[in-house]
Amino acid sequence: MQKTSSGNFFEDFRLGQTIEHATPRTVTAGDVSLYTALYGARFALQSSDTFAGSIGYPRAPVDDLLVFHIVFGKTVPDISLNAVANLGYAACRFLNPVYPGDTLHAVSQIIGLKENSNRKTGVVYVRSRGLNQDGAPVLDYIRWVMVRKRDESAPIAAEEAPVLPTEIESKELGAALPRLDLGGYNFVHSGSRARWQDYTPGERIDHVDGMTVEEAEHQLATRLYQNTAKVHFNQFSESKSRFGRRLIYGGHVMSLARALSFNGLANAFHIAGINGGRHVAPLFAGDTVFAWSEVLARAEAPDRRDVGALRLRTIAAKDRPCADHPYKSGDAYDPAVILDLDYWAMIPR
Amino acid sequence: MQKTSSGNFFEDFRLGQTIEHATPRTVTAGDVSLYTALYGARFALQSSDTFAGSIGYPRAPVDDLLVFHIVFGKTVPDISLNAVANLGYAACRFLNPVYPGDTLHAVSQIIGLKENSNRKTGVVYVRSRGLNQDGAPVLDYIRWVMVRKRDESAPIAAEEAPVLPTEIESKELGAALPRLDLGGYNFVHSGSRARWQDYTPGERIDHVDGMTVEEAEHQLATRLYQNTAKVHFNQFSESKSRFGRRLIYGGHVMSLARALSFNGLANAFHIAGINGGRHVAPLFAGDTVFAWSEVLARAEAPDRRDVGALRLRTIAAKDRPCADHPYKSGDAYDPAVILDLDYWAMIPR
Amino acid sequence: MQKTSSGNFFEDFRLGQTIEHATPRTVTAGDVSLYTALYGARFALQSSDTFAGSIGYPRAPVDDLLVFHIVFGKTVPDISLNAVANLGYAACRFLNPVYPGDTLHAVSQIIGLKENSNRKTGVVYVRSRGLNQDGAPVLDYIRWVMVRKRDESAPIAAEEAPVLPTEIESKELGAALPRLDLGGYNFVHSGSRARWQDYTPGERIDHVDGMTVEEAEHQLATRLYQNTAKVHFNQFSESKSRFGRRLIYGGHVMSLARALSFNGLANAFHIAGINGGRHVAPLFAGDTVFAWSEVLARAEAPDRRDVGALRLRTIAAKDRPCADHPYKSGDAYDPAVILDLDYWAMIPR
């Protein structure tokens, strides 16, 4: 009986296959403290039970991206242990708030398979869901990832590349937002007076600050998420890779950019969904991360007058301040750009 | 509408101005664990609910300096984002115990302004208070800090340098100390048999041990306190500074020295107040911190026979053991000294 | 009155002496999160209150080795501050589960003393117990450690080297295991279908993955355990040692190896006892740890049909993958081996 797993290879996946992932995880106040220590997040809702209570939450919910990383981490041993590259995200929606004490587990479905012409790799499209202890969904997202084949000659049963949405419609947003009483929202404690209507599509905001990343930090983070991708932890093997170094988990960059974005988006307290995301280039320890955002759109949230949705593009760059908003020239990204994240955030009106 | 903040400059402050700071913070058991992991503190009261309960606390209170750092951190975005140097502290008193689950916020008042003769900077004197979810004060302190001007030619409305107390009178101490039953105090579990009357003014105690600091450690700590001072995090910008390196938050040194001081002051379980403090020289990652203390005075605590107060000077030095108590020669500090902290600690009689 | 401790030297110990150790410690969810972040453990029982509840635990218990490290840490200031080497462990049994909120303290008895012929050092044999807030034992183990003499000429009162068991009998195992309902055990969530009867004595399992250790990580861990051994923290003094570097706490290696062993032993959810352990060589920051295990024996657990016991030898090696199971040639360990741990783990039948 095979006791150890070296993960699935491309030919091991089957279209329509459902995979229930291992190691359910109770999220605790300890995780929240570590998340604060790792990124320095300052959004008042996630930082303060009192602030949360004043607008109708039972207590401070767990940061949305911490939920994302924990669910994502569960999928790694089954989906991406033999990944060459994480290619993208789509249709990521947060569906219920998570509080300390909740227990999360994850289930995935293979929704697409496409072998590459070199027959050495293929793209796996997977829809993953995070569920809490009551079976209620907290997160639902699609990612696609390039995975090695074990055997180049192995045949692939059925292939299909799904059509993926490039945008979540605003009417689908807000499921994880309880009915709130924003009369109690303290705009001094939240750190900014800027509301939904103060942001204009096309507006660009430099988040000013920079954060240097250390090996110990991203390793602590990625282990906290029980993510087992060896490229993040194993310098012995990575010293022989093309970079010669440990790669930092892409989600670490997302959380750094999100924390930096507080300076400019302090009231955008909840990520309702991620339309798409791309890890444009790798980040290594010693690099300093900067970020800026563009307001892509403003939308009403379904059935509510208290909050609205902002569609944002947040760009993270390394070793390059973002006052001039580095992005693309033509189709090519500025060489400093490492993350291109397109998401919907909720913000008081 | 300006969305991002680059902090206040000297000419932005006004005498008497009140500033309510952003991001209230619920302190949790997770913060306490991180604090232990960062400094290795071993004072029994803060480490054990059982020990705390045996002397009359409802449970283990949060370390006094953790409270200090969290409150201090809140003030940074408004007070010292453009600081050149943190010059000193005075009249710092701990006023109520803080327990996991309490939510802290901070309010400051500008009590003094004094432009420097070069007109490039000025000194801001600020009294800050930390308050819990019931509005009860937990901390009250004055600090003064040299802040850059945005515009050298900007006029300053009104100036005044306040007269600051150099000492907290002993009768003002102990507000954060519940009525205790020290009959239940276990001097084996506390780690020492030395009580108030065993310490003599003039006595000097080498704390023996040394602790080397890593970049990841001080960054985790300073983010945990949601302190946004960029000199601690941004190697890209600091590589161009006069030191060429990230500066370690001065409060990190205070907590290291306090944790080291357990070896010699194990029963001095509560910092009741800080008379004054000076960050004499910067600390950098890779340096090893040592500490020693001098007993400056011994005082009775108001209305209580169970505990007394010790006035202590704790000196931290870098890369230099403290068996010979390095301090000053004339007015000049020994080049190894990095911290000169004068405070009152409470200790059983 | 001597205020600081420089620890006990060999001649300070007396046969039969009982030492109650300082600083009781309430274990919290924050400690559990840090433990996850430090090692990336994925055993479902310790990760999930829901999983724990489904098999009859009131909630997720604290990882066995976290309990071990906390109890061990308490003994260091009294037992091994002047140790030259930690020589071995025997008869280590886990006796009650520990849950967040429990408070641990430690008591030791000196059960053997044997001066070395050079009269500079001697071996101290100590039996230590960890107790919870109700006085119930959670851990009981023997270790022996070589300790320096303060004064070579000091006489030693009474000497005796105890006979130590090399194995815990299987009938002594399982005291920390509540009566469980393994009908609710979810073999998908646990990460493997392999049960007790699927393991065969002589079977060798490579745990595949490797983990590189950073200075900040082992320092955070060792301080979390309030372990004060200066070799782990003080680069200033260690730069003059024979290694020139900080030594990593041996228990850190045990926890890394245990976390890595999930890949192959996912259902071996509880360490019931440690027959023996040897830190064969030191680990330093920057090294990458790999591990493999051999099944030494399979035994029934007393009075239970739900779980059985596996006797395992887990070997950790540095900078060397373990696919070929490096161990000994003759009496000499492979130069890459750093840990040789012989223990009993409980696993569903």
pLDDT in tens, chain A (349 residues): 889 988 999 999 999 999 999 999 999 999 999 999 999 999 999 999 999 999 999 999 999 999 999 999 999 999 999 998 889 999 999 999 999 999 999 999 999 999 999 999 999 999 999 999 999 999 999 999 999 999 999 988 788 889 999 999 989 999 999 988 888 999 999 999 999 999 999 999 999 999 999 999 999 999 999 999 989 999 999 999 999 999 999 999 999 999 999 999 999 999 999 999 999 999 999 999 999 999 999 999 888 889 999 999 999 999 999 999 999 999 999 999 999 999 999 999 9
Burial of C121: CB neighbours in 10 Å, binned 0-12, 13-18, 19+ = buried
- Helix and strand numbers (H, E) in chain C are 8, 14
Inter-residue contact A338 to A263 (CB < 8 Å)? no
Q: How far apart are CA B219 and CA B10, in angstroms?
A: 27
Residue B159 pLDDT grade (very low, low, confident, very high; cuts 50, 70, 90): confident
- At residue A236, the pLDDT reads 97
Q: Which residues does chain C have within 8 Å of residue B188's beta carbon, measured at their own beta carbons?
A: 20, 22
Q: How far is A226 from chain B (nearest CA, A)?
A: 18
The answer to whether residue C147 neighbours chain A at the CB level (below 8 Å) is no
**Do A86 and A145 form a contact (C-beta atoms < 8 A)?**
yes
Chains contacting B (3+ CB pairs below 8 angstroms):
A, C
Fill in the amino acid letter for A39: Y
Whose structure tokens read 């995780």? A31
Whether B312 and chain C come into contact, CB under 8 Å, resolves to no
* DSSP-derived secondary structure for B143-188: EEEEEE-SSTT---S--BPPP--SS--GGG--TT-----GGG--TT
Rounded Cα distance between C104 and C77, Å, is: 16
User: d(Cα B235, Cα B308) in Å, to the nearest integer?
Assistant: 45
Sequence-distant (≥ 6) Cβ neighbours of residue C13 within 8 angstroms: C110, C113, C124, C147
Q: Determine the pLDDT at residue C305.
A: 87
Residue A288 touches partner B, C-beta closer than 8 Å: yes
pLDDT > 70 fraction of chain A, expressed in percent and rounded: 100
Read off φ and ψ for residue C18, nearest 5 degrees: -105, 135
CA A137/CA A129 separation, integer angstroms: 7
Q: Are B203 and B294 in contact (CB under 8 A)?
A: yes
Q: Do C37 and A220 touch (CB under 8 A)?
A: yes
Q: How far is C293 from chain B (nearest CA, A)?
A: 30
pLDDT tens digit string along C127-163?
Answer: 999 999 999 999 999 999 999 999 999 988 788 889 9
The candidate with the shortest Cα–Cα distance to B91, out of B254, B270, B275, is B275
Residue type, A121: T
Nearest CA in chain B to C135: B50
Inter-chain Cβ pairs, chain B and chain C, closer than 8 A: 138
Q: Which residues of A touch B220 (CB under 8 A)?
A: 37-38, 217, 220
Mean pLDDT of B266-276: 98
Contacts of B284 in chain C (CB under 8 A): none
Provide the chain B residues 217-246 that lie in CB contact (below 8 A) with chain C: 217, 220
- pLDDT band of residue C22 (cuts 50, 70, 90) is very high
HSE-up of residue A57 (Cα within 13 Å, Cβ side) = 23
Alpha carbons within 13 A on the beta-carbon side of B66: 30
Mean pLDDT within C286-308 = 94
Predicted local confidence at residue A68, as pLDDT: 98
Cβ distance C4 to B44 less than 8 Å, yes or no, reads: no
Q: Nearest by CB to B210, from C103, C105, C234: name it.
A: C234
Chain A with chain C: Cβ pairs closer than 8 A: 138
Q: Which chains touch C (3 or more CB pairs under 8 A)?
A: A, B
Amino acid in position A280? V
Cβ within 8 Å of B, A 161-190: 188-190
DSSP H helical ranges for B225-315: 235-238, 250-260, 262-265
Is C158 within 8 Å of chain A by CB? no
**Mean pLDDT of all residues in chain C?**
96
Q: Note the Cα B31 to chain centre separation in Å.
A: 17
Kindly report whether the global pTM for this prediction surpasses the value 0.90: yes
- Does B212 touch chain A if contact means CB atoms closer than 8 Å? no
Q: pLDDT tens across C54-107, in order?
A: 999 999 999 999 999 999 999 999 999 999 888 999 999 999 999 999 999 999
Q: Cα(B348)–Cα(B195) distance, rounded to whole angstroms? A: 6
Closest residue in A to B26 (Cα–Cα): A48
Q: Do residues B112 and B124 make contact, with C-beta atoms less than 8 angstroms apart?
A: yes
CB A20 within 8 A of CB A131: no
Section B189-198 average pLDDT: 97
Structure tokens at B272: 């009741």
Produce one character per residue of A230-247: b if its CB has 16 or more CB atoms within 10 Å, e if not.
bbbbbbbbbeeeeeebbb
Backbone dihedral region for residue B120 (phi beyond 0: left; psi -120 to 50: alpha; all else: beta): alpha
pLDDT band at C179 (very low <50, low <70, confident <90, very high): confident
CB-nearest to B37 from C6, C34, C246 is: C34
Residue A1 confidence (pLDDT)? 84
Question: What are the Cα distances from residue A69, in Å, to A123, A227, B220, B327?
Answer: 21, 8, 19, 49
Report whether B264 contacts B324 (CB < 8 A): no
Would you give the distance in Å from CA B243 to the centre of its chain?
A: 24
Rounded to the nearest angstrom, the minimum Cα separation between A214 and chain B is 6
Identity of residue B14? R
| Closest residue of chain B to A318, computed from CA coordinates | B236
> DSSP characters for A70-134?
HHHHHHHHHHTTTEEEEEEEEEEEE-S---TT-EEEEEEEEEEEEE-TTSSEEEEEEEEEEE-TT
Report CB contact under 8 Å: B220, A217.
yes
Q: How far apart are CA C326 and CA C333, in angstroms?
A: 8
Q: What's the pLDDT score for residue B208?
A: 95
Written as six digits, the tokens of A328 are 């693309």
Residue at C42: amino acid letter: R
Q: Which of B34, B50, B288 sits opposite C235 (nearest CB)?
A: B288
Residue B103 forms contact with A (CB below 8 Å): yes
Neighbouring residues of A62: CB distance < 8 A, sequence distance ≥ 6: A27, A31, A32, A46, A97, A98, A99, A100, A102
Q: Is the pLDDT of residue B62 over 80?
A: yes
The mean pLDDT of C100-115, rounded to a whole number, is: 97
**Taking Cα atoms as reference points, which of A6, A5, A8 lies closest to residue A148?**
A8
Question: Which residue of B71, B76, B236, B240 to mutate against A (max A Cβ within 10 Å)?
Answer: B236
How far apart are the two ends of chain B, measured CA to CA in Å? 59
Q: Which residues in chain B are closer than 8 Å to C237, comparing Cβ atoms? A: 210, 288, 321
Contacts of C29 in chain B (CB under 8 A): 29-30
User: Does residue B26 sit at the A interface (CB-CB below 8 Å)?
Assistant: yes
Helices (H), chain A: 29-39, 44-47, 49-54, 64-79, 215-224, 235-238, 250-260, 262-265
C128 and C108 Cβ atoms separated by less than 8 Å: yes
What is d(CA C320, CA C117) in angstroms, rounded to the nearest whole number? 37
Buried b (16+ CB within 10 A) or exposed e, B132-163: bbeeebbbbbbbbbbbbbeeeeeebeeeeeee
Which residues of chain C neighbour B198 with C-beta distances below 8 Å?
Answer: 1, 3
Rg (CA), chain C: 20
Residue C279 has pLDDT above 90, yes or no: yes
Helix or strand or coil: residue A214? Answer: coil
Q: Which residues contact A15 (CB under 8 A, 6 or more apart)?
A: A110, A111, A112, A113, A157, A158, A159, A160
Does residue A147 sit in helix, strand or coil? Answer: strand
Chain A: nearest CA to C41, how far in angstroms? 7
Confidence of residue C181 (pLDDT cuts 50, 70, 90): confident
Token representation of residue A241 = 């890779």
CB atoms within 10 A of CB B242: 6
Please state the length of chain A.
349
With contacts defined as CB-CB under 8 Å, which chain C residues touch A5? 263
- Can you tell me the ipTM of this complex? 0.97
Which range (A270-284, B103-117, B176-190, C333-347) has the least confidence? Answer: B176-190
For residues A38 and A255, is the Cβ–Cβ distance under 8 A? yes
Q: How high is the pLDDT of residue A210?
A: 97
Tokens of C143: 């270790």
> What does chain B come to in residues?
349
Residue A306 phi/psi, 5-degree rounding, is -80, -40
CA–CA gap between residue A238 and residue A248 (Å, rounded): 12
Instruction: Say what the pLDDT of residue A182 is.
Output: 85
Nearest CA in chain A to B245: A212
Residue whose C-alpha is closest to residue B2's, from A36, C173, A206: A206
